[in-house]
Amino acid sequence: MSEGGGGETGRERGGGETGRERGGGETGRERGGGETGRERGWRRDRKRKRWRRDRQRKRWRRDRQRKRWRRDRQRKRWRRDRQRKRWRRDRQRKRWRRDRQRKRWRRDRQRKRWRREMCLCYCHLVVANLHCR
């Protein structure tokens, strides 16, 4: 067996070196068991970091979406308002135009009537068909 007392080490047995023989803290991988507290800690932190980042990304995405929706609604409202304004203005112009036309027709009719009622010498309006003579 081995010269000198003591149990056999892995090296003497011909196997690879175990963590214990190599010295230094043994990690879970070398021990073959679960992770040590420290490793678990940083792994958990990394996971937390990832979760947090994912949540942030999700929130940012949602916020961007909401912003887009809001902007779209705003644009829709603006467009609708502009349209209504245009329609209103057009109706107003139509009304004004119609009124001017009616006014013109009225005036023309009135003038015709006056021409009929006027004295031939155009001195003044005729009253009860009595002329200036």
Q: Specify the range with the lowest mean pLDDT, choosing from 7-11, 46-50, 52-56, 57-61.
A: 7-11
How far lies 46's CA from each of 14, 41, 74, in Å?
38, 9, 41
Which backbone phi and psi does 16 adopt, to 5 degrees? Answer: -75, 170
| pLDDT at residue number 117 | 66
Q: Specify the range with the lowest mean pLDDT, choosing from 40-54, 82-96, 114-128.
A: 114-128
DSSP 8-state code for residue 126: -
Q: Is 23 a residue whose pLDDT tops 60? A: no
| pLDDT at residue number 31 | 56
Confidence band (pLDDT; 50, 70, 90) for 112? confident
Q: Is 53 a residue whose pLDDT tops 90? A: yes
